[in-house]
Structure 1
Amino acid sequence: MTPRVLFVCTGNICRSPMAEYLLRHRLRDHSDAVSVSSAGVAALVDHTVHPLTAEVLAERGIATDGFAARYLTPAMLNEADLVLGMSREHRDAATTKAPVRWKRIAVAREFDEAIAVRTADLAATRFPGDRNRPELDIADPMGRPREEFDRVAAELDPLIERLADWLIGLRGQ
């Protein structure tokens, strides 16, 4: 079975699609390794990615053609094996929509920390540290200058690299 990863942010045009496309790009040689998608808790439904998100990704050789923002639904959460929010707010909104899936919902940074201490699994139940630390959040670049979009990409790059390596290793088990 192919694991399904769902990234979540607010409008589904900046952070979560950036994470989605970065992970897809990182897994391009393992296209069957994982299914990757994204959605937003207050999505700008059917919008393309933000122009600055598209620019940042294009500079990495990643095209976002055909992207359409989606509103996060309980069905999406029930189908996902791993849900990674860009902030605590997104984790909490996802958990509210699908409370029985709480073990599979985390902030991207807290799941990254679980990978680092080797406690991550597709039904993660333990996360290191305080789950309500503000530093877990990746700040929204919406309405901000290009540098903020670059910052988001710089924050996501190492998280996505470790997540991709973990997912590839998972397939090898």
Structure 2
Amino acid sequence: MTSSILFVCLGNICRSPLVEAVARRRFADAGLSIEVDSCGTGGWHVGQGADERSIRVAEEAGYRLRDHRVRQLAVDDFRRFDALLAMDDDNLAVLRASSPPQYRDRAILFLDAAGLDEYAPPIVPDPYYEDLDAFRHVLKLAEQGVDGLIERLRRGVPLVAPSRAATR
């Protein structure tokens, strides 16, 4: 059973904090007790808040993001979280390269874990150099993805390989 999920993107200012905010509220609304957090594979923004555009689209949709503080991926995250869900292939590659071997299978793509097969490739695009509509698109993917996670968790479908998820 998945009890903790880490959402991972590049800088932890756009995508992963939005997904974390959506997951935090929707998991609670669904009665699921799952620890959620987010981080970036890069450390450029550590200690800062989320991108103002992410905050804006989150608040427009009723999610709380203003208190978010950026943090970078830590080695302990691989042991601490049952699933490390990357927003794109580059972040997934960093996760797998950084992971201790026994935890490598805990790192997967967020939209793959959510069972959203209609997205090819199954990535959440980085909106950083785009306009506000790109951030709204990320929010839409976050909501669809989190709803997919909820559905899978309710059906008892593991988000990661069961043989690895049990290894602590």
Which one-letter code corresponds to 1:148 in the other structure?
A: A
Question: Which segments of 5 or more consecutive residues in structure 2 lack a partner in the other structure?
Answer: 157-168
**Within the alignment, does 1:46 sit opposite 2:32 as a pair?**
no
Match among 95, 108, 128 for residue 142 of structure 1: 128
Q: TM-score, normalised by structure 1?
A: 0.80
The Cα shift of 1:32 comes to 6.0
Aligned equivalents of 2:16 and 2:2: distance in 1? 20
Normalising by structure 2, we get a TM-score of 0.82
The residue number in structure 2 matching 1:166 is 152
Structure 1 residues without counterparts, runs of 5 or longer: 117-132
1:41-89: per-residue Cα shift (whole Å, max 9, x none)? 1131011111110111101111223210001111112211001000011
Say if 1:33 and 1:168, in contact at 8 Å, map to a contact too: no
Using the aligned pairs only, state the percent identity.
Answer: 24
Which residue in the other structure is 2:107 paired with? 105
Q: Give the distance between the partners of 1:97 and 1:87, measured in 2 at CA.
A: 16
Measure how far apart 1:166 and its partner are: 2.8
How many residue pairs get aligned? The number is 154
User: 1:67, 1:2 → 2: CA distance?
Assistant: 23
1:27 maps to 2:27: yes
Q: Secondary structure at the match of 1:95?
A: helix
* RMSD (Å) for aligned C-alpha atoms: 2.3
Contact (CA 8 Å) 2:47, 2:71: kept in 1 or not?
Answer: yes
More deviation in 161-170 or 141-150? 161-170
